Amino acid sequence: MNHTQHLLIVEDNRALRQMLTWEFEELGYRVTATDCCTAAIEAARSGKVDLGLLDYNLPDGCGMDLVSRLRALNPAMRIILSSGYLNAEECDHSLCHFEPKPVSAKKLHRLFQSYAATPVD
């Protein structure tokens, strides 16, 4: 990575959010972790976020709606939406990549690295 990637994790499961934060920090990311759409939008407005890892079911909204709102703030943001309840066909792949849960931080890291090599539409 050329610079430290700033990753926004939006996950309402506290234990999973903390584990992902630790794992991505160990991989060299700067992490901002939130538990809802409102906090995610605030975090994205307050600083440049390069990447997003979003849960689909959030207490104050839907992860797919949050993808659209984050992309409106930063069209170059690379986003992975993850869910244990949703299937890939229900995800708008033009806006983000979908990964079913459970998924390892190492696999997500590889996906983010491959995104970095791909130009944004």
The CATH number of domain 6-115, selected from 2.20.130.10, 3.30.70.100, 3.40.50.2300, 3.40.50.970: 3.40.50.2300
pLDDT in tens, 89-108: 667 777 788 898 889 999 99
pTM: 0.91
Long-range (24+ apart) CB contacts under 8 A made by 108-114 are 108/24, 108/53, 108/80, 109/24, 109/27, 111/80, 112/5, 112/7, 112/51, 112/78, 112/80, 113/1
Which of 1 and 38 is assigned the larger pLDDT?
Answer: 38
Q: Give me the residue spans of the domains in the chain.
A: 6-115
Query: What is the model's pLDDT at position 14?
Result: 97
